[in-house]
Chains A and B, each alone.
Chain A
Amino acid sequence: MSPGAASPIGLPLDRVDGPHKVSGSATYAAEFQPKDTCRALIVQSRIAAGRIARIDTRAAETMPGVLRVLTHLNVERLPQQGRAAVKPPAGREMSLLQDDAVRYNGEPIAVVVADTLEHAQEAASHIEVAYERGPAALDFEAARGGAYPPRKTVRGPPDTTWGEGASALDSAPVRIAATYTTPYEHHNPMEPHATVARWEGDRLTLWDSTQYVSGVRDTVAKTLGIPTGNVRVISPFVGGGFGCKGSTWSHVMLAAMAAKAVGRPVKLALERPQMFGPVGGRPRTEQRIELGASRDGRLIAVCHDVISHTSSFEDFVEVATSPTRALYAYPNGSVTQRLVKLNLGTPTFMRAPGESTGTFAIECAMDELAERLSIDPLELRLRNHAEREPDTGRPWSSKRLRECYRQASRRFGWERRDAKPRSMHEGPWQVGWGMATATYPAHRQPAQASASLARDGTAVVRCGTQEIGTGTYTVMTQVAADALAIPVDLVRFELGDTRWPRAPISAGSMTVASVAPAVRAACTRLRDALAKQDRRWLDAADDAGRRSAWRALAASQPTATEAHGESHPDASEDEQPFAARSFGAVFAEVRVDPELGIVRVPRVVGAYSVGRVLNAKTAANQLQGGIVWGIGMALMEESLLDPSSGRYVNGNLAEYHVPVNADVGEIDAWMVDEDDTRFNPLGARGIGEIGITGVAAAIANAVWHATGRRIRDLPITLDKLL
C-alpha cells in the first residue's frame, strides 16, 4: 500500500453484494432459466434396504406434460456403474439408477421429467414400485456391537495415543467418566439444493448450488466419462451450505442425465423433505470420556472413545476426538474412532464437523471434573492451558486463548457466579451460568486468482471460489483494493465459475486463508506491472488523486493488463513445524422453568482467537451465527428416525426445529487482536466454523448450574428435565 492510503483490510465495510441480496437481484441456482427449461423431480425409495422388484411408470409416462421417466431400466449406463469419481469424502457414492438396489429409505430410484413442476409432481405420484425387502440396520444401539475402526479419518489414523496412553489413568487420584450422545441432525440451509443442467452438443453447463464449483465439475465430468473442460459450473450465490453443499450428490448428476435424455435444459430442485437423507447430515455420536487429574486440578490423562454412524455403502467419520487432542495439556492420552453401518444416507461434514460434537463431550466432562474437584470451571481450564499441541508437542502458529478467557469472562461477569448449582434465580426461573472452550483447526489449500484492469478503470479480480454467506465477495474486494492501493469501489470481484482460476472448497473455515493470499498475489503482480507503465496513482497524496490517476492509467491501456497469482502452504498440515488452530471462550446464561423444563438462553458471550480479521462486520456476524447454531444443537435440533421404516419422521422445517428469532437473546461475540502470519501471509485463520463449538457444552453446563441436572444427551429438550 502506498504511503497515506488507509488499508481497507479489517474495516467493517458493508457487504458489496448486500444491495443485491436485499433487493432480490442476487441470483441463486434455481433462478437461472435457460430457454426451454423443463422440470425434473426425484422419486425416492420407500424402504430402507432391498431391491426394486418391479417399477411401473406407464401411467406416469402418459400423463400431461411428461417428457420422460428415468429408472434403472432405461437410464444411460455410466462408466464403472457411475462410480468413476468415487473417492470419499471428496467424491461420494451416488445413487444414479445404475441398478435395482435400495440402500436407504429416501434413496433416489427414479426421475420424472415434465414441462412443468405441477405435471412432474402429479406424474411422480402415479409411479408404482414393488420392492423385495432386505434386512435393514436401523438401530444405532443394536449396531454398536459391530462397531469397527475406519481405515482413516481426516485427522489421520482412527486411534491415537500419546504419553503412556490410557494406562496413565490408573495413577490419577481423581477420575471421572461419562458418556455423551448427540443425535442425527440435518443442515437445512435455507436454499434447497438445486441444479439447472444444459447440454450444448457434448458440452454441459451446470448452474448449481454448491460450496465447490471445481469439485462438481471434476466429479460430473469423470462420472460421465467426458473431458473436464467440457463441463462448466456456475454458482454466483449459494443460499447457505454448512457442509451439505460441499459434495456432489446424486441430484446434480441426475439433472445432467435427465437433460441429456430429453434434449432440453432441466431444472432439478430438491424439496425440503428430500434434504433429509440424500444430501448428508450430521452423524449420530456416542462418546465416552474419561479424565484423570491431580487433586489440584492438573490433568494427567484423557481417554475419548467415539462411535458414530455411517451408511451401509460409504465410510464417513465424525472425528469428535479432534478437539480433545488439541485442548489441554494432558501428558497422556488415548482417543479412538469407531463406526457403525446403518441403512441411512451417508452423513457428511456439518458446521464444525468433529469439533461441534466433540467439544460438547469434552467440555461437559471438564465441567464435571471441575465440580468434582470444587475448582471453578474457568480456573480448571487455565491450569491446563496447552502451550503446545498436546499429542504432537508442536508449538502453535499463534494462540491467544488466555486473552479470550480474560475478556469474555469479564464481559460476562463470571466472577459473580455462585459455584453451587440451583443457587441463582430470577422470578420463577432457575438461572444457570456455564462456560466452555471453543476450538477449530486452521486449514489452508492452494488457490489461484487473476486480476486485470479494464479500460473503464475497474479492477476485475477473479477466482473460482464461492459465496456461501461468509462474505467472500466483500473480503476479497478489500484484499484486492489493499494490494492495488485503490478505493474498494474500483474493484469488482467475481467468483463461482469454473472458468475462473481454481480455488478450494468453501468449507473448513479455509476460504480466507487459502484464497486471500492468491488474490493478493495476483493483485500485487498487476500493481507491479502497471507501476512500470505509470505509477502516479501510487504516489498520489489522497484518494481523489489515486482515483483519477488510476482511471487515466486505465484509459491509456491499449489492451487490458492481466496478472495471475497463486498461493499454497509450504507444507502439508502434518509436516508443518507448528500447529494452527483457532480458539475461543464462550459463556452462556440459561433460564429454566422448574415446572415445565423450558430452557431459554437470554445471553451468550464469546471471545475468539482467530488470527487477523479482514472485515470486522462480516466476521462478527459469522461468530454470532455459529452461536445460534450452538443454541439449536443444545436445545432443539434432532432428526427423529422411525426405527421400522428408516425414515426421518420430522423431515421438514416445521418439525425439525432450528432456532427462530424469538429463540435467540443477546449474543456478544468478538475477536481478540491477533495476526497469525506464520500460518499465511494475510495472518487470518478463518472464522466460519468456530462459533458453534463449545456452545452446546456451555449451555449444558449452565443447565446443570441452574438445575443440578447433568443432561449428557442432546438436545436438552424439556422432557429430559422433568
Chain B
Amino acid sequence: MEPPPRDPASVSRRRFLIHTGALTTGIAAEVRLPMSEAAMPAQAAGGESEMRLRVNGQVHALRLDPRVSLLDALRDHLGLGGSKKGCGHGQCGACTVLVDGRRINSCLALAIAQEGREVTTIEGLAAGGKLHPVQAAFVAHDGFQCGYCTPGQVISCVAMLEEARRGDASAVTADLDAAPLLDDAEIRERMSGNLCRCGAYVNIVAAARDAARRA
C-alpha cells in the first residue's frame, strides 16, 4: 500500500517546534497586553472600552471593562452560555472556543484582544438546526454525563480533527513526518486538555474515533 500523499502543510519535527514556540510567545503577548504601558490609561480610568466582536458570523459592538475575558464576554454580555466556566485559569478546557479556527481557552483570552478575529462557539457549530457530525457522535456514543464539559470537548474535538488533517503532531505521534492517524492513543493525548469529571472518557474517545472516521 502506498503511503498517504504528503500534505505540503504537514509538520516536520522542526516545524512543530517552531510552531509551538510561536504559540507560547503569542499567548504570553496576549496575556501581557493590557498590562503594557500603552493600555494603562484605559485601565487606570476604570472605564469601559468599545470593542467589536465577531462571534459565529455575527458582529457585536460592546462597551466592556477591558479586563473582561472572552469567556465572560460570551457568557455574561452576549448571552452565549454554551461556553462553560470551570476554572477561569485555563486548567480545565470547559471554555474552549475556536478563534480563527484554532482552539483556545477563552477564559485566558481578553475579549478586547479578539477584535478582527472570528470566534466560533458551541452555539455556532450546528448548521440549520442540524447537529454538527461531532455533536451527533457525542450523542450517539453518550460521550458525556452532566454535560458541563461537553461544549468544550466538542469544540476541542472539531479542532483536533482539523489539526490532524493538516498534519500537526502530538506528544505521542511516533512518526513526525507521516500524516498523523487518530488512533485511541492520539485521541486521548489530544483531548487531554479537556477535563471530564464525570469520567466519560471511554465514550468521548469512541465519539471522537467515530467522528474522525467520518471526517
Contacts and interface: CB of A to CB of B under 8 A. Distances in A.
A653 B87 contact: yes
Interface string A1-38: 00000000000001101111111111110110100000
Nearest to B83: A24
A662 B93 CA distance: 15
Given A17-B147, A469-B198, A272 B82 contact: no
A260 to B, nearest CB: 22
Contacts, number: 179
A400 to B, nearest CB: 24
A418 interface: no
Interface stretch (A186-194, A492-500, A531-539): A186-194
Interface of A: 14-15, 17-28, 30-31, 33, 64, 116-119, 188-192, 237-240, 242, 269, 271-272, 468-471, 617-618, 621-622, 624-629, 652-654, 658-662, 664, 666-667
Contacts of A116: 65, 68
A23 B146 contact: no
B145 A30 contact: no
Contacts of A31: 75, 81
Nearest to A617: B142
Given A190-B86, A190-B92, A625-B198, A240 B148 contact: yes
Interface stretch (B10-18, B22-30, B188-196): B188-196
B58 to A, nearest CB: 15
Main SS class of interface, B: loop
Interface string B43-87: 000100000000000000000010110001001100111111111
Contacts of B83: 24
A658 B135 CA distance: 25
A621 B142 contact: yes
Contact of A191 (B89, B139, B146, B203): B146
A243 to B, nearest CB: 12
B85 A192 contact: yes
A257 B177 CA distance: 61
B128 to A, nearest CB: 13
Contact of A22 (B84, B89, B138): B138
Contacts of A468: 146
Given A239-B148, A240-B198, A626-B199, A23 B123 contact: yes
Interface stretch (B1-9, B149-157, B161-169): B149-157
B194 A469 contact: no
Contacts of B86: 190-192, 272, 653
A23 B122 contact: yes
A628 B84 contact: no
Contact of A661 (B85, B91, B192): B192
Contacts of A26: 147
A578 B68 CA distance: 58
A470 B139 CA distance: 14
B139 A22 contact: yes
Given A22-B144, A272-B89, 12 more contacts: A23-B123, A24-B151, A27-B81, A190-B148, A239-B84, A240-B146, A625-B200, A628-B201, A629-B199, A652-B91, A660-B195, A661-B205
B126 A239 contact: no
